[in-house]
Each structure stands twice: as structure tokens, then as C-alpha cells.
Structure 1
Amino acid sequence: MPYGVFLLAPRFPGQTDRVALDRALAAVDAAERVHLDEVWIAEHHFMPYGVCPDALTFAALALGRTRRVAVGTAVSVLTTAHPVAIAERALLLDNLSGGRFHLGVGRGGPWLDLEVFGAGLERYEHGFTEAIDLLLRAATGPTVAGTPGFPFREVPVVPAPATRPHPPVAVAATSRDTVAVAAARGLPLLLGMHVGDEEKRGMVEHYRDSGGPADAPHVSAVVLHVADRRREAVAEVMAAAPGWLRAGLAAHVPVDGRPGPTRDPHAYARHLCDLHPVGDLDYCAARLARSAERTGVRRVIAMVEATGDPAHTLRDVAALGALRRAGSGLGPVRPGASDLGKLA
């Protein structure tokens, strides 16, 4: 199973944006050091839920600091950016990194981003398919022409893709309609950490029923936090995550009159602990194996910032490295949480 980290760069209460970004960047370095397969970076605007507003820029820095690990965006939001501009930047990173860049794209949400960037609800609600098709044409080259929603004359694509036919693209999906869009184009799914195994399995099945390839390398995001005992791991998450979630959920402001998120932050934090590998290493290994069996998705990226503590984050990256080695037959899952800091 390929293992990677999923970085939100969340700002927890009492922290600065710089602390959040430094913690995420340290996790990139640690992922390379413990031989993880991938690093994926989230993108959010105007909120403490995640303080990286441009996943492509962060990905460029991460690629420049590493030599082996793949780096992806989870996700670059197509609704608030021009698809050709995203394609150009993806092609640049594809060339400069020797093919280590993966582009994750998504629709985004009905938030104030649409007002600030001038995209509007119409493009959010009805323009995603047009945008993704234009992005794929631009990422493939050698030329690209406009569409009704993005009118422009035909232009050459520079640079040409280093990875053929285009850099790897995955699609974040939270609805059956988006799953079908990805399946029709043979693009793997990015499945979020807010849903459990049964829903993820249902999306994978709908993907196959919609004509998607059976061997598509879908990606499943989970929350991972490790301590010597499961009770301790859950307590550490529950002591910190509700404060972050409270502020982050409140900052998701709809652009129109629809209601915003209404999740209770304590209940949601506990829900994440129950869904995901939060516990000792053996518990986490068993939980990841069971999830892979249930969903059929064997490519996992773990959100390792669930407490906001930089030391905890490095400990969790080291734990994921230990789990990867054990899953690859390279060694047993032996170290306790108190030993994992040495690995990171």
C-alpha cells in the first residue's frame, strides 16, 4: 500500500499562520526522510481550517526540498482559477520535478471565494465538467482552444508534458455526479476524510458502474494519530481538534443565503477518531488494513496534524513510515509512540 501524508496546514487556537505553515513544511521533510510515497497539500481561502491558499505554490516548494517523494495538490480548486493556468503550472512542475507532481482538482464549495475571485455560483454549480475537460486538453497539448465558458483563440501549450499523456490527475469527489465525471475520463478519485468506509466503497462501486477503470489508483484520506494506547491517542485529538474545527467550520461562509456547516465540533472530532486510525501502532495498522479491504482503495494519505502540535505531527509521520515498512515486509511494527520521535 502506498502511504502518504495529507497536509491541511490548520491554524489551531493560539497559533499563528506561520506556525501552521512551518509545521506542514516540517512534515514534508519528515515524509521524505522516512521514505513515504506521497505528500498531498490542501488549499483553502480566508479561514483557519487551512492557511495554505495556493496548493500549487506549496507543492513547488515541497518538490524543491525533496528528491524522491511525489507531491500532489488536494486540491487545486477549478472553480476559482482558470483551468489553463492550472494546467500550465502543473506542466511546469511535472517537468521540473521529473514527473513527481500529481494534480488533484476539485469543485470547491459555495463559499465567499466565488465572490472574491469573480467565479460565481453558476460556474460552481454547472461549470466543473467544462473546466476539467479544458484542463485535460491543455495539460495534454500541443495546443488548446477555448470553450463557451472560457473563450480564447487556439494557443500552443508550453511546456509540453514530461509525463504522457499529461501529469497524473485525480478528482476530489463528494457526490455521485462528480464520481461519474471522473469515471468517464478515467481519472482516479480523491476520497475525503469526512466519510467512512461504506460511503467510500459505494463511490468506488459507482465509479466502476459509470465506466471507470477497475484498477484506477484511487486515494483515500484518513486522520492518523498515534500514541502508546488508543485511549491516549483519542484524548490528545479531543483536547485540541474541537477548537480548530469550531473556528474552521464557522469560517465556511456561503456566498448566498444557504446555511453553512452545522457540525458540532466535539462530535465531529470524535467521529473522526472513530472512523480513522487513531490509537497505538497495532490498532492503526489493523484499522488501515480493514479499511483497504472494505473500500478496495489501497492508496492512503493521512492527515497528521490532528492535534496541531508540531512534535505530534512529526511523531505521526514517523508512525506512518513504520506502518509503510511493515506493510511492505521491510520490518515489523515495533516502536512505541515514545520512540517514534527518534525516527522523525
Structure 2
Amino acid sequence: MARSLPEPSGRPAPGCGPRVRFGVFLLAARYPGQDDAAALARTVEAAVAAERAGFDDVWLAEHHFMSYGVVPSAVTLAGNLLGLTSRVHVGTAVSVLSTQHPVALAEQAALLALVSGGRFRLGVGRGGPWRDLEVFGTGLARYEEGFAEALDLLLAWLRSERVGWEGAHFRFREVPVVPRASEPPPVAVACTSRATESLASARGLPMLLGMHVGDAEKAAAVARHGDAGAPHVSTHLAQVADTRAEAVDTLLREMPRWLGPGLEGYVPVDDRPRPRQDAFAYTRHLCDLHPVGSPDDCVEALVTTVERTGIRHLILMAEGAGSREATLANIARLGAEVLPKARAALSA
């Protein structure tokens, strides 16, 4: 039988709410006219700029075979960024469990936690029914039926000294856990369905909630999870300009140029029909949900999200304007003109 999971540790005591954390979320999308090297260089530069701007953490997306994001291993790039920074935490948003072995991922997570002095955070997700499953040989069964077991094995590895396993998808004799982090990295689960919300709740894990839903949906997910004090993470599009109209116009002009071709990379593994998504309409939807506008507009949106959802960890996708220069300027303005006011309002 699978080894039972130790109880998670290090949770804040009731009534001792943590301070609000603000991070940057980096897709590492390839903009029109860029090559992969330029996209990755911009992502690294943006992460270093986020530390300089006063953000608390940097989160990295993981994708395969698409221009929407050119990072195939978020943990690998996280290791690079942990070596280039000294203060910010670096997390994966997310490492996809359906296409890799959970023990391999847990070993890498423990390694990064140890060499970074505890600055690594692990976000994991089910992923989608994409052709990744065919290329890596894990198949639809790992996506449709195997996520819970993969998550349990990953958690057991991070929390134990020795692990043996007997399950539907994984089976091996007991082996020692090496390297072992005495304080495992924090783990969050990307949740886009009620079933995954229930799984995160049952494992005592916080949720990582995406940009596609607004405050009301996120508040409902927190209520269903049942632990309002859990360190959930909320993802947002963020764009600062002198006025809201200017910020929205910039995103509507630039974001569909790279988002549209990127979304075409989501190819189902079994050729199941997949409706095409209108990149312009989706960008408009995101502008309506998130901190897009003047510094005061952005502050108000962030404070409102915290008050409505109870989530006290917000990560901001700052790459929407579609160029290296615009991304770095946006991060700098968020750090100088938005985060201080938001932190002051939320600590009052």
C-alpha cells in the first residue's frame, strides 16, 4: 500500500493572517518577430527587475510546443533565477504533473529548496488533454485518472525520509529520499474545476487560481475549499498607464498579436474538437477583470480582490504589452506606484 501522508506543517495559527504578498507571473511568451532566445532573455531580465521593484516573488509558467510560453521546464528556469536573485521567492505556475514523474519533480523541488535557502515554491497542475501526453508517453489516463495519485506521491516524497509505492500508475520498492529538505517547499495546486478544488482541500493544500475568472468566482472557490485562511494564490493581468483608457488600448492593440498565435498551440492529444478562442475578446475580458489602468485604478482593483476573496497572495502577469521595454517599464511602475499604496491600504 502507499505510504500514508504526514500532516503538513508550518501553517499560520488561526487569527494570524499573513501579510499580503505580491508576485510577478511570467509566461515567457514569444512576441511577434522574436526568437526563443530573446523571449527567455526578456523573462530572466523581468524576474531580476521584479526583485529590484520590490515584488515578493516570481512565478514561471510551463508549456510545450507553443509560442504562448517557451519554458518547457519551470523548475529549470527557477533554478537559474534563484541563482540570479537574493530576496524574491521563485515558484512554478505550474509544473504539470501529467507529463512527468512526481518523484523526479519532487527531487528537483527539494534540491531547489535546499540550495536557495527556502526561496523555492512549487505550483503543480493537472495540465490539459494536449499532445504533450503523447510526446512524453504518459497518455490520457495520467491526465484523466492519475492526477490525485501523482500528487499524493509527490507530497509523500517531499514529507518523508523513505518512500515505497503501490498504486494504479506508480509502483516501486521503498527507497531513501535524497536530497531531503527538512522544511519542504510550499506546494499549491492549480484549480480550474470543483473536483480539483476538492482534491486540494482534502490534501490541506492552497489553490492557485487563474486569470480567466474574477473575484466572485475566486471567492466561491475559497468558500468551497473550506479553509479561508489557506495561503491561496490569485493570478491577475496587470497593466499600468496614466489612464485606464491608455492601458486598455495598449493591451487590446498588442496582446492579441502574441496571444492569438500562442493559443493555437493547445492541440488535443486525441483530436477531440476544441473551439477556437478569440484573442481580442479574451483580452477584453481580462481587462474587465483585473488591475488595468492608472496606478490608483490598479491599487483599487488589488485591494478589492483581497477584500472580496480573502486571498492574500496575488501574482501579476505584466507582459501583456508585448515588448521587452514595455514589460520592464510596467514592472517598474507597478513596483513604484502601485505596490506601496496597495500594501499600505491592506495593512491599515
> TM-score, with normalisation over the residues of structure 1?
0.92
Note the alpha carbon deviations across 1:21-60, whole angstroms, 9 max, x for none: 1111111111111221110000000001111110000000
Could you report, residue by residue, the CA deviation over 1:219-278 in whole angstroms, capped at 9, with x for unpaired residues? 000000111111111111111111212111111100113222422111111111111111
1:79 matched residue in structure 2:
98
Moved over 3 A (4+): none
> Are positions 1:278 and 2:292 aligned together?
yes
The amino acid of 1:276's aligned partner reads: H
Which residue is equivalent to 2:237? 223
Q: Which residue of 1 aligns with 2:172?
A: 152
Segments of 5+ residues of structure 2 without an aligned counterpart are 1-19
Question: Contact 1:223 / 1:272 at 8 angstroms: preserved in 2?
Answer: yes
Name the amino acid aligned to 2:278.
Answer: D
Structural mapping, 1:169-180, within 5 Å: 169-180=187-198
Letter in 1 for 2:97: L
Distance in 1 between the 2:190 and 2:104 partners?
Answer: 19
Deviations 1:147-188 (A, max 9, x none): 32111111000111141xx21000000000000100111111
Q: Provide the C-alpha distance between the structure 1 equivalents of 2:105 and 2:181, rounded to a whole number of angstroms.
A: 13
Shift of 1:297: 1.1
Paired with 1:254 and 1:233, the residues of 2 have a C-alpha distance of 34
Which amino acid is 1:199 matched to?
E
Partner Cα distance (2:341, 2:240) in 1: 16
How far apart, CA to CA, are the structure 2 residues paired with 1:275 and 1:328? 20
Q: Distance in 1 between matches of 2:275 and 2:65?
A: 16
2:316 is the counterpart of 1:302: yes
Instruction: State the TM-score, normalized to the length of structure 2.
Output: 0.91
- 1:239 counterpart (253, 267, 291): 253
Report the equivalent of 1:205: 223
Structure-2 change in CA distance of 1:261 and 1:157 (3 Å): farther
What root-mean-square deviation, in Å, do the aligned CA atoms of Structure 1 and Structure 2 show?
1.2
- Counterpart-to-counterpart distance in 1, 2:171 and 2:76: 26
Answering whether residue 122 of structure 2 is matched by residue 97 of structure 1, we say no
Question: Which residue of 1 is the match for residue 73 of structure 2?
Answer: 54
Is the 1:252–1:261 Cα contact (8 Å) retained in structure 2? Answer: no
Residue number in structure 1 paired with 2:9: none
1: distance between equivalents of 2:223 and 2:279?
A: 31
Equivalent in the alignment of 1:269: 283
Q: Which residue of 1 aligns with 2:344?
A: 329
Question: What SS does the aligned partner of 1:9 have?
Answer: coil
Q: In the alignment, which residue of structure 2 is the partner of 1:35?
A: 54
For 1:303 and 1:162, the matched residues in 2 are separated by 32
How far did residue 146 of structure 1 move? Answer: 2.0
The worse-fitting range, judged by mean Cα deviation, of 110-119 and 292-301 is 292-301
Separation in 2 of the partners of 1:271 and 1:264?
Answer: 11
* Identity within the alignment, %: 57
Select between 252-261 and 132-141 the one with higher mean Cα deviation: 252-261
Match of 2:126 among 93, 104, 107: 107
